[in-house]
Amino acid sequence: MSTIAVDVGGTFTDAIYIDNEGKLRITKVPTTPLNPALGVIDSIKKSKGLNEVEEVLHATTIATNSILGQINLELPRVALITTKGFKDIIEIGRQNRPKLYDAFFTKPRPFVPRELRYEVNERTTYEGKVLKGIDEDEINDIANDMVKKGVVSIAVSFLNSYANDENERKVKELLQDRFSFITISSDVSPEPREYERTSTAIINALLQPIVSSYISSLASSLSGLRSPRFSIMSSAGGLISLEEAIERPVQLIESGPAAGAIAALELSKLLGIKNVIGFDMGGTTAKASSIINNEIEIVDEYEVGGESHHGRIVKGSGYPIRFPFIDLAEVSAGGGTIIWRDKAGGLNVGPISVGAEPGPASYGRGGDKPTITDANLAIGRLGENLAGGQIKLRKDLAISALKALGEPTEVSLQALELINLEMARAVRLVTVERGLDPSSFTIMAFGGAGPMHAAYLAEEIGVKSIVIPPEPGLFSALGLLLADSRFEARKAFPKDLEQAFSELEAKLREKLGDVDEFLRYVDVRYEGQGYELRLQVTSFDRHEIEKEFEELHKRTYGFTLSIPIEVVSARVFAIKKRKKVGLGEARENGVKSPSGYREAIIRDHWEEVPIYGREGLPKGFSIKGPAIIEEYSSTTVVPDGWTASVISMRSIIIERC
Amino acid sequence: MVPWEIISKASSFIAEEMGVALRRSSLSPNIKERSDHSCAIADSNGNIVAQAEHIPVHLGSLRVGVKLLLKEIEKEGIGLNEGDMIVSNDPYITGTHLNDVTLLSPIYHGDNIIGYVVNKAHHIDIGGPSYGSINPFATSIYEEGLIIPPLKLVEKGNIRRDILSIILSNVKVPRISDGDFKAQIAANIAGIRRVRELISKYGIKDVLDGWKSSIAHAFKLAVDEINKWPEGTYFSEDYLEVGQHELVKLKGKVTIAKNKILVEFPNAPKQVEMPFNAVLGVTFSAVSFPIRSVMRVEIPVNEGFYSIIDLRAESGTIINPVPPAPVSGGNLETSQRIADLIFLALSKAIPSRVPAAGSGTMMNVMMGGFDEKKGQRWAYYETIGGGSGARPNSDGISGVHVNMTNTMNTPIEVAEATYPIMFTSYTIREGSGGNGRYRGGDGMVRSFKVLSKTRISIMASRFLSSPWGVGGGREGKKARVVIRKANGEVISINPLMSMVLEEGDEVIIETPGGGGYGEPE
């Protein structure tokens, strides 16, 4: 089957096309930020004759960018229907201010203005007992008012609907003939905590009209094809159908980054490596994800538009969404991150970055602020020709920008050490928080800048082996080709586990038809705790689950308690396997000698470092550091003390020697 | 040579990791939902080198508390071995109120203590006559709960059952307290482990030098900032409710001088036999918070920053009491007013940076009783935010905590599932923010019915005085609490109350709005 995978990034839209014989072809076209569908269509057309594509896989930023206002798009008018007395819950949030010491702080503005928040006289208890049902007349009046005010999409969120969704469903039934887009909170987030659930429902309601029109515009442009199957990457790292994407678009928020993490997961399975840290470093951010026993870590909550503080989003700074997300710790650390001195002369990196325009000083497009790319260039780790010579960097401009901060070499070395520390922080978040020792992991480094920093990061956290995948700069697009279809369903406070799982699985079968595998999880805690630990369910036996929980608790926090244990939620992922593409193998007889030498500082002194071209290296070939390996989409630095070897799947492994 | 910036940054990451371990494994909603806790690393002299920023009222108090605690340990001749952890909640030592339990551990390198990790967390109940311990009618600290003097809770890595048993026998929901103590221990273990890793990576000398430089760096940033402010002495006045009907006047005097800020409280009221006395640690926090907030640079919060503040507080007064004065409300309410007072004085020096007064009360609600349906005792503590003051360039924010606290609310669905109460509203109190060129943020309305017999206590302020406006901006609305009895009777209550509610009684709490900024147009 011929498949195309399209990943829309901030600057470029990457496409990888695979034909019937399994041959890969790579295309990069500029992204049109105001109309990302253009880049997608363009890349498909450029890749191959339209008619031949049978399947399109897509990672999109449409959801996040619409919410962040990065697309010139008027947001649809969304109304909220909620329990009487509680219309301001979305405005109050958790009542904290996102910044402690800022007298000029702001809170995110609610997407539903007060005049579009409707209160309904209804009530359900925490035990799920309906104290007051829905009055049809009341809903009709609200409907009339919403029509008058031009409401396009509706979120319905009632107190305690996680325990019983009866009243929410009733409202949906009453409104569905008059409105195309209705989200009920118990459908998108059937869990307690009214603010987070309501916020999730509102974001879903906001995205429904946007995603629906984006998808139909894509579909109509592709109608010349022999109707290819179309799937989109979800934040949980599985491909979902267009229908699912339109129904619950909240799950597209981290579509792009999830594709990268899934790429790391699938390649690590192919290579037989069980515990992996996915390390994705691009132009503005670095992201870390963790893979444990060939399973990727999933979290339940994310704040879109939130401010990040050392890798974690500051609570209350964005709009919370409760839905499964691949756990990514994100720090402002990329090639474009700015190096600067504070008022007392301390050197700092980030969090501001220069963006695509004007870019780092060395791009010669008018930027005068020194960046991480400039630092790497100044000390020779990065060469002056990028992307096979398509981009020329100017070392003189990099050095003169760095000079403003002090002796350029010294500044560069110190800045790179600081940024590696910042990234180590992100890695610790996705490992230490779960009681895992990062040094027992392998780093898989990708993104344009990942392979250049990977060894230094590894030394910081004690990691002894690193994998550089094929096409590291386009690895996220490659991830789409490696992903499975994956749908999620969950239930809060299941009474009977076996029954809960069989209900959830029946629901997923209805959506998906045949399912290859169900992955069952439970979130467990001591009664009264606010955070759960997640276990994969291998048996429905209560004692077994409790025993596993206690072991994990001990490992994570160092103690156990003698109080009852409760299962907070049951969750199932239905997996439908897709045929995976082969990544191919490196050639048997290639070039074993350096293509040249360059003066660079790998540790603390200048030296002649051999430069190798990755494309020509044969399988099985080893290089002892110090060395630099260059390719179309990235540059890999191998410091002394490390050895790089070309292994299967066109990958490179770098190990401590 | 390792640049100190790296040591400095790594150390503040460690403090944050400690907070994560504490929050995720704790049981009390105060910690897990509301993040009412703080973590820090101190050097061997007790100077704070790195802190995780969680709750303002804890932060400055650790600066005072760690040093006093070390002094007390030395005085008592308590030797600290590797694997020991000292627990204490004595506010006159650790610097806030009895509910805040401090746990301190030495970090050993070879035979020497090279520093300490410390964390402080608000326990839901620490004994005494009131549910939640905070007792509006305490006349001495003995009525506010169990006083734990500095003791080894952990000795050479083992929890001392005897100590823990004494504590747990005095609290109302021991299983929750037990979990919270263990979470605090877990946080220190995590902190020590990571500092050790830092030492083995960079060497002891670089780490200690890095800490020193980090403090020096913060000091330089701070003095460079304040030296740009106009030198001079600035005065302010505000009022605090002490008791049910009485207002006392507090006066602030802030002198901006070269390299330091001198803070005094002329004619400070004598300490009172009511829980409104703020121990020195609280007063120091409430003074350092406004100063930090008006600075326009990012400054690591450590000894370097703190040392620019010269606080003079006369002993035996409401802002620096001596035992056995009760102190719980000093931490909660007096601290808010001290912060208001310092902000007001600073607004005269650097008007473009200081907002009008925010709600100025934490609106503390303590409830508890015996839940017949579940067959267990319960204790619930909540604080309710209000409006923030209007700023020189923008309206205030509605429905947030201001000044010395930043705890999150307990979600209604979590509270209803945990306690025998049912909420009737949670909204913005429209029109409560003061008018002005820029409006103060609005306060909130939070109301609920109790489903079984319940004792409720409220400790709050800004019932009798209003949050002030600046430059002609109007005052925010005062707080108001009303109880609507099941039999229809309506009782309006005072800032300090405790009473028994019967099933079906409704409590309606309205919090103050912030003051306005500039004449209304």
Q: What is the pLDDT of residues B23-65, one digit of tens each?
A: 777 776 666 655 678 899 999 999 999 988 677 777 688 899 9
Which pLDDT score is estimated for A303?
A: 82
Helix (H, G, I), strand (E, B) or coil at B443: strand
One domain, residues A537 and A523: yes
Which pLDDT score is estimated for A340?
A: 93
In a domain, B12, yes or no: yes
Q: How confident is the model at residue A525 (pLDDT cuts 50, 70, 90)?
A: confident
Q: What percent of chain A has pLDDT over 90?
A: 48
Residue where the block lists tokens 């809170």: A107
**Domain edge (last residue) among A464, A481, A498:** A481
Residues of A331-350 as b/e, b for ≥16 C-beta within 10 angstroms?
bbbbbbbbbeebebebbbbb
**Domain edge (last residue) among B219, B243, B258:** B219
Write the DSSP symbol of residue A311: T
- E strand residue ranges, B37-88: 37-43, 48-52, 85-88
In a domain, A493, yes or no: yes
Scanning B172-203, the segments in alpha helix (DSSP H) are 174-202
Say if CB B18 and CB B190 are below 8 A apart: yes
What six digits make up the tokens of A368?
Answer: 């005068």
Helix (H, G, I), strand (E, B) or coil at B159: strand
Pick from A63-72, A180-189, A451-460: least confident: A63-72
Predicted complex ipTM: 0.89
Rounded distance between C-alpha atoms, residue B36 and residue B30, angstroms? 6
> Is residue A341 predicted with pLDDT exceeding 70?
yes
Residue bearing the bigger pLDDT, A119 or A243: A119
Cβ burial of B465 (10 Å; 0-12, 13-18, 19+) is buried
Rounded distance between C-alpha atoms, residue A330 and residue A279, angstroms? 10
Rounded distance between C-alpha atoms, residue B103 and residue B185, angstroms? 8
For strands A652-656 and A642-646, give the pairing.
antiparallel
One domain, residues A446 and A375: yes
Say if CB B349 and CB B252 are below 8 A apart: no
Rounded distance between C-alpha atoms, residue B378 and residue A146, angstroms? 43
Cβ-defined contact of B189 to A558 (cutoff 8 Å): yes
Rounded distance between C-alpha atoms, residue B346 and residue B290, angstroms? 8
Nearest in space to A231 (alpha carbons), one of A246, A222, A242, A221: A242
> Is residue A72 predicted with pLDDT exceeding 60?
no
Rounded distance between C-alpha atoms, residue B326 and residue B141, angstroms? 4
> Is residue A31 predicted with pLDDT exceeding 90?
no
The answer to whether the pTM exceeds 0.90 is: no
Rounded distance between C-alpha atoms, residue B446 and residue B428, angstroms? 9
Pick from A108-112, B26-30, B184-188, B377-381: least confident: B26-30
**Domain edge (last residue) among B178, B195, B219:** B219
In a domain, A477, yes or no: yes
Say if CB A475 and CB A444 are below 8 A apart: no
Q: How confident is the model at residue B1 (pLDDT cuts 50, 70, 90)?
A: very low
Helix axis angle for A475-482 and A255-271, nearest 10°, is: 70
Residue bearing the bigger pLDDT, B227 or A427: B227
**Domain edge (last residue) among A252, A281, A305:** A252
Residues of A in contact with B35 (CB under 8 A): 96, 315
Scanning B268-373, the segments in alpha helix (DSSP H) are 280-294, 303-306, 328-329, 335-349
Average pLDDT score, chain B: 92
Which pLDDT score is estimated for B60?
A: 80
Q: How confident is the model at residue A219 (pLDDT cuts 50, 70, 90)?
A: confident
Which pLDDT score is estimated for A430?
A: 72
One domain, residues A469 and A555: no
One domain, residues A187 and A243: no
One domain, residues A82 and A129: yes
A530 — contact with chain B (CB < 8 Å)? yes
Q: How confident is the model at residue B509 (pLDDT cuts 50, 70, 90)?
A: very high
Mean pLDDT for the stretch of residues A366-377: 94
Residues of B in contact with A433 (CB under 8 A): 17, 20, 24
> Is residue B130 predicted with pLDDT exceeding 90?
no
Say if CB B291 and CB B341 are below 8 A apart: no
Rounded distance between C-alpha atoms, residue B16 and residue B504, angstroms? 43
Write the DSSP symbol of residue B514: P
Cβ-defined contact of B3 to A556 (cutoff 8 Å): no
Say if CB A628 and CB A610 are below 8 A apart: yes
Q: How confident is the model at residue A435 (pLDDT cuts 50, 70, 90)?
A: low
Rounded distance between C-alpha atoms, residue A546 and residue A537, angstroms? 11
- Among B190, B224, B393, beta carbon nearest to A344: B224
Cβ-defined contact of A96 to B424 (cutoff 8 Å): no
Rounded distance between C-alpha atoms, residue A205 and residue A155, angstroms? 6
Which pLDDT score is estimated for B82?
A: 95
Q: How open is the CA angle B133-B136-B142, to the nearest 5 degrees? A: 55
Nearest in space to A89 (alpha carbons), one of B412, B431, B380: B412
Residue A320, beta-bridge partner list: A303
> Is residue A71 predicted with pLDDT exceeding 60?
no
Rounded distance between C-alpha atoms, residue B407 and residue B512, angstroms? 17
Pick from A94-98, A145-149, A644-648, B192-196: least confident: A94-98
> Is residue A70 predicted with pLDDT exceeding 80?
no
Q: How far is CA A233 from CA A245, A483, B320, B326, in A?
A: 9, 8, 60, 59
Give the tens place of pLDDT for each residue, A234-254: 998 889 988 889 999 999 998
In a domain, A369, yes or no: yes
Q: Which residue of B has its CA nearest to A104?
A: B391
Rounded distance between C-alpha atoms, residue A250 and residue A124, angstroms? 26
One domain, residues A471 and A497: no
What six digits make up the tokens of A461?
Answer: 């956290």
Q: Give the type of residue at B486.
A: A
**To probe the interface with A, which of B14, B27, B342 has the most A CB atoms within 10 Å?**
B27
Helix (H, G, I), strand (E, B) or coil at A157: strand
Which pLDDT score is estimated for A227?
A: 67
Cβ-defined contact of B409 to A87 (cutoff 8 Å): no
- Among A92, A97, A414, beta carbon nearest to B444: A92
Pick from A107-121, A132-146, A526-540, B219-233: least confident: A526-540
Nearest in space to B268 (alpha carbons), one of B335, B329, B319: B319
Helix (H, G, I), strand (E, B) or coil at A383: coil
Say if CB B403 and CB B432 are below 8 A apart: no
Query: Within chain B, what is the greatest distance between any pair of CA atoms?
Result: 75
Which pLDDT score is estimated for A258?
A: 93
Mean pLDDT for the stretch of residues A78-98: 95
In a domain, B230, yes or no: no
Q: How far is CA B277 from CA A201, B126, B283, B341, in A?
A: 46, 19, 10, 16
* Structural domain span for residue A30: 3-70+213-252
Helix (H, G, I), strand (E, B) or coil at A280: strand
In a domain, A640, yes or no: no
Name the helix (H) or strand (E) containing B423: strand B421-429
The strand order across the sheet containing B260-264 reads: B232-241, B247-257, B260-264, B309-312
Number of structural domains found in chain B: 2
In a domain, B104, yes or no: yes
Which pLDDT score is estimated for A466?
A: 97
Number of structural domains found in chain A: 4
- Among A85, A91, A103, beta carbon nearest to B399: A91
Residue bearing the bigger pLDDT, A452 or B243: A452
In a domain, A614, yes or no: no
Helix (H, G, I), strand (E, B) or coil at A652: strand
> Is residue B159 predicted with pLDDT exceeding 80?
yes
Residues of B in contact with A196 (CB under 8 A): 411
What CATH code is carried by the domain that includes residue A59?
3.30.420.40
What six digits make up the tokens of A356?
Answer: 């695509």
One domain, residues A267 and A381: yes
In a domain, A641, yes or no: no
Handedness of CA B29, B404, B495, A92 (dihedral sign): negative
Instruction: Please spell the DSSP secondary structure of B370-412, one letter per residue.
Output: EETTTTEEEEEEEE--BPPPPBTTBPPPSSB--TT--PPPPPH
Mean pLDDT for the stretch of residues A572-593: 84
Rounded distance between C-alpha atoms, residue A74 and residue B424, angstroms? 36
Give the tens place of pLDDT for each residue, B346-402: 999 999 999 999 999 999 998 999 998 888 888 888 999 999 999 999 999 999 999
Residue where the block lists tokens 């083995």: B200
Mean pLDDT for the stretch of residues B391-415: 93
A160 — contact with chain B (CB < 8 Å)? yes
One domain, residues A201 and A231: no
Which pLDDT score is estimated for A357?
A: 67
The number of residues in chain B equals 521
In a domain, B322, yes or no: no
Residue bearing the bigger pLDDT, A309 or B309: B309
Q: Give the type of residue at A362.
A: S
In a domain, B292, yes or no: no
Q: What percent of chain B has pLDDT over 70?
A: 97
Name the helix (H) or strand (E) containing A547: helix A542-557
* Structural domain span for residue B19: 4-219
Name the helix (H) or strand (E) containing B456: strand B454-459
One domain, residues A272 and A363: yes
Say if CB A117 and CB A79 are below 8 A apart: yes
In a domain, A185, yes or no: yes
Average pLDDT score, chain A: 87
Helix (H, G, I), strand (E, B) or coil at A482: helix
What six digits make up the tokens of A359?
Answer: 């870019």
**Domain edge (last residue) among B219, B247, B280:** B219
Residues of B in contact with A421 (CB under 8 A): 6, 9-10
For strands B85-88 and B100-109, give the pairing.
antiparallel
Number of H helices, E strands in chain A: 16, 37
Say if CB B255 and CB B232 are below 8 A apart: yes
In a domain, A597, yes or no: no
What six digits make up the tokens of B422?
Answer: 């049912």
Residues of B73-94 as b/e, b for ≥16 C-beta within 10 angstroms?
beeeeeebeebbbbbbbbbbbb
Rounded distance between C-alpha atoms, residue B97 and residue B329, angstroms? 8
One domain, residues A272 and A401: yes
**To probe the interface with B, which of A114, A414, A552, A557 has the most B CB atoms within 10 Å?**
A557
Give the tens place of pLDDT for each residue, A309-339: 655 666 677 888 988 888 888 887 888 899 9
Give the tens place of pLDDT for each residue, B210-221: 999 999 999 999
Q: Which residues contact A111 (CB under 8 A, 6 or more apart)?
A: A75, A78, A202, A203, A206, A319
Rounded distance between C-alpha atoms, residue B483 and residue A237, angstroms? 51
One domain, residues A54 and A112: no
One domain, residues A381 and A330: yes
**To probe the interface with B, which of A157, A459, A559, A568 has the most B CB atoms within 10 Å?**
A559
Query: Within chain A, what is the greatest distance between any pair of CA atoms?
Result: 82
A74-78, A426-430, A560-564, B240-244, range with greatest mean pLDDT: A74-78
Rounded distance between C-alpha atoms, residue A324 and residue A367, angstroms? 39
Tell me the residues of chain A between 380 and 409 that have a Cβ less than 8 Å away from chain B. Answer: none
Write the DSSP symbol of residue B152: E
Nearest in space to B400 (alpha carbons), one of B376, B417, B384, B424: B384
Say if CB A467 and CB A273 are below 8 A apart: yes
Residue where the block lists tokens 């955070």: A531
Which pLDDT score is estimated for B31?
A: 66
